[in-house]
Structure 1
Amino acid sequence: MAKTSLLLFLILMTSSLLGQQILTKKYTPEQCIRMIQEAADALRSFQPGVYRYHTREDFDRYLDSIKATVQAPLTELELYRKLKPLVSRIGCLHTDLVTAVNYKGLLNKTPNLLPLQVYGTGERAFVVKNYTTNNGIVAGDEIMAINGRPMPDVLRQLLAAIPSDGYNQTMKYLALYHMFPLWYRSIIEVADTFTVTIKHNGIPSVYVLPAAQKKNIEQDGFLRELHYPRQLEFNITGNTGVLTIHTFANSLIRKGDQNFKVFIDRAFAALNAKGIPDLIVDLRYNTGGSDANAAYFTRFFFDKPYRYWYRIEVTEKVAGKIRGLAGIWYRKPVKKDSTWLWQKGKRVRDFDFYEQQYPSENAYKGNVYVLINGFCMSSCADVASVLSYNRKAVFVGTETGGGFQGNNSGIMPGINLRPSKMVLTVPLQQYFTAVDPEMNVGKGTLPDLPVIMTIDELARGIDKPMEAAMDLIRSRQ
């Protein structure tokens, strides 16, 4: 064997062995309980919204119940499956737990994914797309069980592990629609075959499906993020404008050679110059981004001063850390009664928007229709809340995944849970949107016109929410 070939063989073999060690290495029960407790302590100390939707007593009870289940050594993935529901239970989509950076990469090298795209609703799940050669399974068939597990049990276990703001479910189900095989692998089991009970036309049948490798079945929007050549799109057809904002994140917008404020200014200038009476704003799948961009966008829908956020809170531990180098960038939080209020930054504008906001000189006065779904998160959810509460638009689609009352985000450090490679992301700021504090508590922005897609519409790619908005416009015109 040539020296180069031998060297390559040794490198690949060593890499494979290291990969197996990462996947199979076990931690003692004492180590596992210590990591679970460390995660809980970090959340209590630094996450200001840890009791926003559940009491401390409820959190402690659930924590104790998880620790009680640790009776034997666990791999990192097994420990992740126990700890992930505790993190998600807080009701914060920004608080996250991930396995080792290369953990998923190692799993992706072998076939271990269910080869079906799945749509869940309530306790039921249906096939949207079949990625096998088995023609007996078609779109619309109901999945009754996977590897002996009834689907209601599967869905309950998966939904408990997927984070969202408050008690929101639309984000969780949408995540399953796009990523069911990955969530099943992460939370329930890694398998090389799947025995699936399928009901077709009321008749159940059992199929044994070989597992698929991620690279062989992934596509844009399934097991892979949606890709857009341009993050901002605008057009006028007849008397209707359509403005699509896929993100408020400057980093993504700039990749398409676009500038957010310039683009938005020009779009509204065109709407007003042409006297366009109706505007559809598509915010679906906008997972957030720059608060400055999001707040700037809302200015085009008001004709008098308004509020965007009411306040931003942090924990006492976080307030105490604003000193030294941190003091160059941030002001010391101010204590008011029993809470610590975050202040505007010294050198950053990320926290400027709890003060009074002012409308744009080129504000739009026509009819506005906003399309939303469960993947409207973070700053996008703030935009939806502010516009909905102030009745600046008709909302069409499904509830946003981001909270109506606000969220926990801002500065979000990662905490390593040693000796594992897991990382816990902890947001340090708790935001309160300028809305009625008694309205939609624990929920996102609710649609004025709910639009639920059928399996057939999903499979055929029909844009039912857009059609519903167009129907509203036609009925008014």
Structure 2
Amino acid sequence: MKRIIITILVLSSSALQAQVFDTLTSEQQSEDWEIFRGALEHAHGGVHWYMPPERWDSVTQVMEAKGWPAQSMNDFSLLIRQELTAVHCGHTWMNDVNGWSTYQAENPVLLPFNIYFNAPGEGVLYHDFTAEGNLPIGAKVTHLDGLAFSDVYRVLSRYVTADGYSEGGVMNRMRWNIIPRYAQHFGGNEVALTYEWEGKTETVMLSNVSRNTRRERFEERYAETEPSYDGPALYLEVIDAEVGKVGHLVHNSFTKSWMRQRGYPLPKKYGEIFEQVAEQELDYLILDLRDNGGGDDYMGTSLCRYLINQPFDYFVKMQTSTRRLGKTPGLDKANGLRFIGMMLVKDREVAGQYKWIWSKTLRTHRPKAPVFKGQLVVLSDGGTFSTATDVVSTIHNNREAVFVGQETGGGYYGNTSAANVKVVLPNSGLSITIPIVRYTNPVDKPEWVGRGIIPDVPVFNTHQDRLAGRDAMLEKAIQQFQE
């Protein structure tokens, strides 16, 4: 019986490996590429916001000149992922090739440690998943397999989607992507790790591990000691500081349904919170939107009404590239959007684009009492994305505030998001999620085109802060208030 089980497991692993590294013919790749390109150009609301149309012409010409040489499913997926990243849209993403996630779970292809980023391209050892468990936590990672870590970061960041050129957004997503992407690109069952520790440089050869092993060793070694920042999704706390009482408003999501399921009825909850701010006569407020991935646009406008004491615009334009999504070749789940053309008119300012006739977020918004008129600090990081970034952008454009933390993951000028459609490539099985609405914020700061909101006071929680349970970013935010 034992021998039969082992045989089945080996066959299962081999089948997964064949699925991940199966070869696609020239014809299969060419067909998938044309469907991929056609779907993005037809349905994506901002496909050429940052990427020139000529780029994909060039890719087509190069690959056709090479005859679309046969390559593995994995390698073809990397080509598609790189070109998806070139769109510079954080709301556009691709699922990994079928079987890849399971293959990583069962096979030793993942790095046996975690890396904590203190800056783009600069990382330190954070978790140790080797069998011995004796790596120096906090050591600076300088090389992987002889390649400078800054170069590893640069190479892998080409395959991580983010809005525009936001360094904060890329670094935030690299936290979760560098481990699986390194395996996908560089492979192998071992890794040569070079690090600096206590004035010395060491190189060690380590065996890679599976995702299952990483998970098991995390539970054994770090589950009880790893700092947890879990807490209520929306709350106001009052901090006693030298300047006086400071309100700290933490907001983790603008997704209305998700928040309501957890007991936060938005936007009604905003009114209750700002009533508390007024009752306690708070003159200093920190709006903490770190790791807020966004949600409903109208929730963003609702919050801004309590923070901006004048009429303001939230978006100035919503546009898309087609009125006939229901008939887009290769797209799945588009039927529910076939009537969207009834809401659109031709955009006379941009050829080939259509704009929304009406939306609640396009109208001018007015303040809602009680408006907070005191000193405001906005705390953000690379996880501040989508609606959360739109809120930061609106505040930046309409009232005095100090911005502390990291560059936001979302774009200062807007994003492409809202309703999504999906294209499934028939030969590789890759599926790509495509957002259809480009939102433009009413801002005018040319040096920030393609970037997030750059903080006035840059600060980042280091790995030492995290291990010590210290929030250096919040401490720096409190220091910005003046009597």
Could you tell me the TM-score, scaled by structure 1's length? 0.87
Pairing partner for 1:464 from 461, 472, 477: 472
Which deviates the most, 366-375 or 114-123? 114-123
**Quick one: which amino acid aligns to residue 259 of structure 1?**
P
CA distance 1:67–1:286, shift in 2 (3 Å): farther
Pairing partner for 1:334 from 345, 352, 355: 345
Partner of 2:147: 149
Whether contact under 8 Å (1:333, 1:343) holds in the other structure is yes
Pairing partner for 1:132 from 104, 123, 130: 130
Deviation at 1:307, TM superposition (A): 0.2
CA distance 1:214–1:325, shift in 2 (3 Å): closer
Q: How does 1:104-253 map to 2 (within 5 A)?
A: 104-120=101-117, 121-132=119-130, 137-186=135-184, 188-218=185-215, 228=230, 230-238=232-240, 239-253=245-259
Counterpart secondary structure, 2:150? helix
Deviation at 1:111, TM superposition (A): 2.9
CA distance 1:451–1:316, shift in 2 (3 Å): same
Deviation at 1:11, TM superposition (A): 8.3
Deviations 1:304-338 (A, max 9, x none): 21100000111145479699974666633101323
Deviations 1:370-417 (A, max 9, x none): 110111111111111111122342111011010000011111111001
Partner of 1:312: 318
- Number of aligned residue pairs: give it: 464
Q: 1:69 & 1:244 partners in 2: Cα distance?
A: 53
Deviation at 1:286, TM superposition (A): 0.7
**Quick one: which amino acid aligns to residue 155 of structure 1?**
Y
CA distance 1:150–1:439, shift in 2 (3 Å): closer
Q: How does 1:235-384 map to 2 (within 5 A)?
A: 235-238=237-240, 239-316=245-322, 318=324, 326=337, 331-337=342-348, 338=351, 340-343=353-356, 351-384=359-392
Deviations 1:217-258 (A, max 9, x none): 3569x9x9x984532222223422111111111233234232
Pairing partner for 2:446 from 416, 438, 447: 438
Counterpart secondary structure, 2:372? coil
**Quick one: which amino acid aligns to residue 347 of structure 2?**
K
Q: 2:10 & 2:206 partners in 1: Cα distance?
A: 30
CA distance 1:98–1:375, shift in 2 (3 Å): same
Deviation at 1:51, TM superposition (A): 1.6
**Quick one: which amino acid aligns to residue 434 of structure 2?**
V
Partner of 1:406: 414
**Quick one: which amino acid aligns to residue 114 of structure 1?**
L
Deviation at 1:112, TM superposition (A): 2.1
Q: 1:380 & 1:178 partners in 2: Cα distance?
A: 20
**Quick one: which amino acid aligns to residue 180 of structure 1?**
I
Which deviates the most, 271-280 or 61-70? 61-70
| Larger RCO (alpha carbons 8 Å, 6+ apart) | 2
CA distance 1:16–1:214, shift in 2 (3 Å): closer
**Quick one: which amino acid aligns to residue 385 of structure 1?**
S
**Quick one: which amino acid aligns to residue 260 of structure 2?**
R
Whether contact under 8 Å (1:311, 1:341) holds in the other structure is no
**Quick one: which amino acid aligns to residue 184 of structure 1?**
Y
Deviations 1:182-201 (A, max 9, x none): 23123x13332212222334
**Quick one: which amino acid aligns to residue 428 of structure 1?**
I
Deviations 1:271-330 (A, max 9, x none): 012211111111011111111211211111122211000001111454796999746666
**Quick one: which amino acid aligns to residue 47 of structure 2?**
V
Deviations 1:161-186 (A, max 9, x none): 11111111212122223442123123
Whether contact under 8 Å (2:294, 2:385) holds in the other structure is yes
Counterpart secondary structure, 1:420? coil
Pairing partner for 1:30 from 27, 32, 43: 27
Counterpart secondary structure, 2:247? strand
Q: 2:162 & 2:347 partners in 1: Cα distance?
A: 29
Which deviates the most, 96-105 or 282-291? 96-105
Counterpart secondary structure, 1:129? strand
Counterpart secondary structure, 2:443? coil
Q: 2:336 & 2:404 partners in 1: Cα distance?
A: 46
Which deviates the most, 443-452 or 387-396? 387-396
Deviations 1:321-376 (A, max 9, x none): 6999746666331013235343267xxxxx42011112112221121111101111
CA distance 1:66–1:447, shift in 2 (3 Å): farther
Q: 2:472 & 2:171 partners in 1: Cα distance?
A: 18
Whether contact under 8 Å (1:194, 1:210) holds in the other structure is yes
CA distance 1:365–1:466, shift in 2 (3 Å): same
Counterpart secondary structure, 2:365? coil
Counterpart secondary structure, 2:81? helix
Whether contact under 8 Å (2:43, 2:325) holds in the other structure is no
Q: 1:341 & 1:412 partners in 2: Cα distance?
A: 17
Deviation at 1:122, TM superposition (A): 4.8
**Quick one: which amino acid aligns to residue 340 of structure 1?**
Q
Which deviates the most, 35-44 or 374-383? 35-44
Partner of 1:50: 47
- Identical-residue share of aligned pairs (%): 23
Deviation at 1:30, TM superposition (A): 2.7
Deviation at 1:431, TM superposition (A): 0.7
Q: 1:197 & 1:212 partners in 2: Cα distance?
A: 18
Whether contact under 8 Å (1:112, 1:212) holds in the other structure is yes
Partner of 1:60: 57
CA distance 1:217–1:263, shift in 2 (3 Å): farther
Counterpart secondary structure, 2:195? strand
Whether contact under 8 Å (2:74, 2:97) holds in the other structure is no
Deviations 1:93-133 (A, max 9, x none): 11112224653133212332112222444554432333335
Aligned-residue CA RMSD in angstroms?
Answer: 3.2
Q: 2:213 & 2:74 partners in 1: Cα distance?
A: 23
CA distance 1:124–1:172, shift in 2 (3 Å): same
Partner of 1:348: none
Q: 2:64 & 2:257 partners in 1: Cα distance?
A: 40
**Quick one: which amino acid aligns to residue 249 of structure 2?**
L
Q: 2:231 & 2:263 partners in 1: Cα distance?
A: 10
Counterpart secondary structure, 2:395? helix
